[in-house]
Chains A and B, each alone.
Chain A
Amino acid sequence: MAKPIKVWMAPPGPNPWKVVLILEELDIPYEIVSFKFDDVKKKPFIDLNPNGRVPAIEDPNTGLTLWESGAIIQYLIEQYDTEKKLTYGDVIKKNQLNQWLMFQMSGQGPYFGQAGWFNVLHSEKIPSAIERYNTEVKRILSVLEGQLEGKQWLVGDKITFADLSFVTWNDRIDATLMCAPEKKFDGIPNVKAWHERMTSRPSWKKAMETRAKLMDEQGLQWNGMPKGINNMEEYEAKIKADAEARANGEAVG
Chain B
Amino acid sequence: MSSKEPSITLYTTQTPNGIKISITLEELGIPYTVHKIDISKNTQKEPWFLAINPNGRIPALTDTFTDGQQINLFESGSIMQYLVARYDKDYKISYPPGTREFYEMNNWLFFQNAGLGPMQGQANHFTRYAPDIFEYGISRYQNETRRLYSVLNTHLSSKNIPYLTGTKCTIADIAHWGWIASAGWAGVDIDEFPALKAWEDRMAARPGVEKGRHVPDPHKIKELLKDKAKMERHAAEARKWVQAGMKEDAEKAASAKEQK
Residue interface mask A58-92, B partner, CB < 8 A = 1: 00000110111111001100100000000000011
Residues B76-123 near A (CB distance < 8 A): 76-78, 81-82, 85-86, 97-98, 100, 103-104, 106-107, 109-111, 113-115, 117-119, 122
Closest B residue by C-beta to A136: B249
Q: Please name all residues of chain A whose beta carbon is closer than 8 Å to the beta carbon of B82 when the two chains form the complex.
A: 95, 98
Q: Say if the beta carbon of A106 comes within 8 Å of chain B.
A: yes
With contacts A66-B107, A91-B65, A114-B122 taken as known, whether A106 is within 8 angstroms of B253 at the C-beta atoms is: no
Contact A71 B136 (CB under 8 A): no
Q: Say if the beta carbon of B167 comes within 8 Å of chain A.
A: no
Contact B103 A75 (CB under 8 A): yes
Q: Please name all residues of chain B whose beta carbon is closer than 8 Å to the beta carbon of A74 when the two chains form the complex.
A: 106
With contacts A91-B66, A124-B136, A131-B250 taken as known, whether A51 is within 8 angstroms of B114 at the C-beta atoms is: no
A111 nearest CB across to chain B (Å): 7
Q: Say if the beta carbon of A230 comes within 8 Å of chain B.
A: no
Contact B249 A139 (CB under 8 A): yes
- Within 8 Å by CB of A128, from B66, B81, B130, B252, lies B130
Contact B67 A101 (CB under 8 A): no
B59 nearest CB across to chain A (Å): 12
How far is B131's CA from A129's CA once the two chains are assembled, in angstroms? 11
- Within 8 Å by CB of A99, from B65, B73, B111, B151, lies B73
How far is B152's CA from A10's CA once the two chains are assembled, in angstroms? 23
How many residues from B make CB contacts under 8 Å with A?
A: 55
Contact A129 B137 (CB under 8 A): yes
Q: Say if the beta carbon of A126 comes within 8 Å of chain B.
A: yes
With contacts A111-B118, A139-B249 taken as known, whether A78 is within 8 angstroms of B98 at the C-beta atoms is: yes
- Within 8 Å by CB of A71, from B55, B69, B103, B131, lies B103
Contact B107 A67 (CB under 8 A): yes
Q: Say if the beta carbon of B74 comes within 8 Å of chain A.
A: yes
Closest B residue by C-beta to A90: B67
Q: Please name all residues of chain A whose beta carbon is closer than 8 Å to the beta carbon of B71 when the two chains form the complex.
A: 92, 95
Contact A135 B131 (CB under 8 A): no
Contact B257 A186 (CB under 8 A): yes
Contact A92 B65 (CB under 8 A): yes
Contact A105 B132 (CB under 8 A): no
Residue interface mask A93-134, B partner, CB < 8 A = 1: 001001101110111011100100000000010101101100
- Within 8 Å by CB of B78, from A52, A102, A109, A147, lies A102
Q: Say if the beta carbon of A181 comes within 8 Å of chain B.
A: no
Closest A residue by C-beta to B79: A99
How far is B155's CA from A246's CA once the two chains are assembled, in angstroms? 29
Q: Say if the beta carbon of A138 comes within 8 Å of chain B.
A: yes
Q: Please name all residues of chain B whose beta carbon is closer than 8 Å to the beta carbon of A92 when the two chains form the complex.
A: 65, 67, 69, 71
Residues B173-226 near A (CB distance < 8 A): none
Q: Please provide the 4 A-B residue pairs with the shortest distance between their CB atoms, ordered closest to farther.
A: A110-B118, A102-B75, A68-B110, A105-B114
24 A-B pairs, CB-CB below 8 angstroms? A51-B148, A52-B151, A53-B115, A66-B107, A67-B107, A78-B98, A92-B71, A98-B75, A98-B81, A99-B73, A99-B75, A101-B78, A103-B74, A105-B110, A106-B75, A126-B134, A129-B136, A132-B246, A135-B249, A135-B253, A138-B256, A142-B253, A146-B54, A187-B256
Seen from chain B, the residues whose Cβ lies within 8 Å of a Cβ on chain A are 54-56, 65-67, 69, 71, 73-78, 81-82, 85-86, 97-98, 100, 103-104, 106-107, 109-111, 113-115, 117-119, 122, 125, 130-132, 134, 136-137, 148, 151, 154-155, 246, 249-250, 252-253, 256-257, 259-260
Known: A68-B111, A91-B65, A187-B257. 15 other contacts (CB 8 A): A68-B110, A69-B110, A91-B66, A92-B71, A102-B75, A102-B113, A105-B113, A106-B113, A126-B137, A131-B250, A132-B246, A135-B250, A135-B253, A139-B253, A187-B259
